[in-house]
Amino acid sequence: MAASSSESPSAMIPSLGASLRDRTVSRNAAPAMTDPARRILSEVFGFDGFRPGQAEVIASLMAGRSALAVMPTGAGKSLCFQVPALALGGLTVVVSPLVALMQDQVAALRLAGVAAETINSSRARDDNVASWRRVAAGETRLLYLAPERLMTERMLAALKGLDVRLIAVDEAHCISQWGPAFRPEYEDLARLREVFPGVPIAALTATADGTTRNDIVDKLFAGRAESFVLGFDRPNLQLSVEIKRNWKSQLLAFLQRHAGASGIVYCLSRRKTEEAAAFLAENGIKALPYHAGMDKQAREANQNAFMTDDGVVMVATIAFGMGIDKPDVRFVFHCDLPASVEAYYQEIGRAGRDGLPAEAQMLYGLDDIRMRRLFIAQEDGGEDRRRREHQRLDALIGYCESPSCRRRILLDYFGEAMEHCGNCDLCRSPVELSDGTAEGRTILAVIEQTGQRFGVAHVIDVLRGTSSEKAVKAGHDRLAAFGSGADGKKETWRSFIRQLVAAGFLRLDIEGYGALTITAKGRALLRGEEPFHYRPDRIATPAKAKTRRESAQPAEEMTEAQSLLLARLKELRLRLAKERGVPAYVIFPDRALIDMARRRPANHDEFAAVNGVGAAKLRDFAEVFLGEIADAG
């Protein structure tokens, strides 16, 4: 059922009205809304007026035109097909991915006095038969079916004999292999336009970037549909991201700030879900687990408790959440990195559906990125899909590493412009940025000299002077920029590039082959007209597994011995800098010396793991710094 009409309009500000294929649809256009639709809205659903975007979608469907509606969570997507279903008469078939979602919507409609049915595998056969008899008798206005049941030849043949006036595909991103929750059984829905010619189809989702939207329109509508894309912004959500250090203590501290509130904690694995729920329960928090490996009755009991009891925290894998219409979820906490920007947006969208303030916080670290890369590599969808998924993951990491307003980066991904939001961690507590103008220009020079046709890996190879087969074949080992960043580590350059993308200096071709291209802002940087400031150490330098674990530990105050060693390292750095006639930071920045003082590397391999140690500095400075550390005792 749609969320309450009293929900704050600020929770669903529309900002874009656009067609993906055929024509622009202005959100300000006055739709030819019929009195029956407004009467149904008022009389059946009890709302005085339509929310932004609803009237336009309804008008299109009632005029017999198919439509794709991309609307923020909580914007009332369900009414976009429920109102025309009642106004048009006959039967509306609603495709829904989850049994629980279907049953909830049917129950809500019935409470509103609407004749709605669902036929699904969780019900007794006699109940399904009774529902179908009511459908066949013309007593039902909306019939909810899973795609697997709808697309059987028997069901399609039976429905063709009825007065089907409208078809609605809910959670339409499931039809696209580029969406965050692709379901192969949804692909067969492309046949609906042939089986029911002339019947308008509504596709609705809260989560679809440009590539996903194009895919939906191509598959479901053969490119012929009106597309309504409202704003993706959820201004009531406070966004924040933290480097993962000790996830349990970070999670507990967060939940203690939200004592007594309902919320969702997402974990990557079933094991971690159980572990987190038990940990929170031990600390006096009413937390329940939810994952696909649990007994069905236990899952349903926990979900019911979450939906009905106050202050329940659901600790879950991504198996939980789609279709959950609980308006007072005050927070969503990610213990691990989600799969993509779309998945992240979909998951945080479950918070604050009542328009009141809510918080979305994410922890991420190197192990998260490694696991996500591994999952992508193990997918069966083919090389093209894996390539795109890596690019989508890069976009999410860019969001995590953003040096400025997170909401701006998030909305930009979906094609929506915004300045600073004032309601994310970086707007509330701006971080100290470092001048990366020189590094930025070095990167842009490599991208320009290689023709703006290559992805991150190749650009970094050229930067670091790696004579890969690809670089040699393209002649890039003979470029002036070849090896211009030899002192930097791969992950350091990756972080720079992601932040250049996030800041608008570079554009990453998500739909193509991940080529990096220079924007107008990037051109200004190359000309010396624009500075680039970056956020240092958003991701610590990776090395061996031990190094990654150490990097994930909480930042600590330096011990007296570490402080004394740091002073000696700074003196050594200054001496070396004077010998070479360069500023001290060119030898090593302070953060590298601090890392050395804490790690106390004893050999070349350990020294290589220090932040800021590239191949050249390993070669030139390892012996002298290792000697100083050894002498310090």
Task: Write down the domain spans for the chain.
Answer: 9-229, 237-427, 434-534, 556-632
| Amino acid identity for residue 108 in this structure | A
Lowest mean pLDDT among 74-88, 172-186, 548-562: 548-562
Decide: 497 and 459 in contact? Cβ < 8 Å.
Answer: yes
Q: With 0-12 CB in 10 A as exposed, 13-18 as middle and 19+ as buried, what is 129?
A: exposed
Residue 479 has pLDDT above 50, yes or no: yes
Whether 9-229 shares its CATH topology with 237-427 is answered yes
Predicted TM-score (pTM) of the model is 0.63
For residue 625, how many C-alpha atoms fall within 13 Å in the half-sphere facing its CB? 31
Q: With 0-12 CB in 10 A as exposed, 13-18 as middle and 19+ as buried, what is 308?
A: exposed
- pLDDT band of 518, cuts 50, 70, 90: very high
CA distance 548 to 538: 13
E strand or H helix at 563: helix 560-580
Spell out the residues 6+ positions from residue 154 whose beta carbon is closer than 8 angstroms to its own.
Answer: none
What angle separates helix 615-632 from helix 560-580, to the nearest 10 degrees?
Answer: 130
Radius of gyration of the chain (CA): 28
Which of these, 233, 228, 236, lies nearest to 205 by C-alpha position? 228
Decide: 476 and 447 in contact? Cβ < 8 Å.
Answer: no
Say which CATH topology domain 434-534 has: Arc Repressor Mutant, subunit A (1.10.10)
Task: Identify the pLDDT of residue 159.
Answer: 96
Residue 4 has pLDDT above 50, yes or no: no
Say which CATH topology domain 556-632 has: DNA polymerase; domain 1 (1.10.150)
> What letter does residue 468 receive in the DSSP assignment?
-
Distance (Å) of CA 162 to CA 138, 140, 170, 365: 8, 11, 21, 54
Which of these, 204, 231, 548, 512, lies nearest to 369 by C-alpha position? 548
Lowest mean pLDDT among 191-205, 217-231, 323-337, 551-565: 551-565
Decide: 629 and 600 in contact? Cβ < 8 Å.
Answer: yes
Spell out the residues 6+ positions from residue 569 whose beta carbon is closer than 8 angstroms to its own.
Answer: 593, 596, 597, 625, 628, 629
Secondary structure, 3-state, 296-344: HHHHHHHHHHHHHCCCCEEEECCCCCCCCCCCCCCEEEECCCCCCHHHH
Task: Copy the structure tokens of residue 592.
Answer: 């590298």
**How many other C-beta atoms lie within 10 A of the C-beta of residue 377?**
10
CA distance 288 to 265: 10
What superfamily in CATH does domain 9-229 come from?
A: P-loop containing nucleotide triphosphate hydrolases (3.40.50.300)
Residue 544 has pLDDT above 80, yes or no: no
Say which CATH topology domain 237-427 has: Rossmann fold (3.40.50)
Q: What is the pLDDT of residues 275-288, one digit of tens each?
A: 999 999 999 999 99
> What letter does residue 243 receive in the DSSP assignment?
E
Please name every residue paired with 506 in a beta bridge, in sequence order, or none if there are none. Answer: 518
- pLDDT band of 254, cuts 50, 70, 90: very high
* Dihedral, 375, 378, 380, 385 alpha carbons, nearest 10: 60
Q: What is the pLDDT of residues 347-364, one digit of tens each?
A: 998 998 877 899 999 998
Residue 627 has pLDDT above 70, yes or no: yes
CA distance 279 to 252: 9
Which of these, 275, 609, 213, 587, lies nearest to 415 by C-alpha position? 213
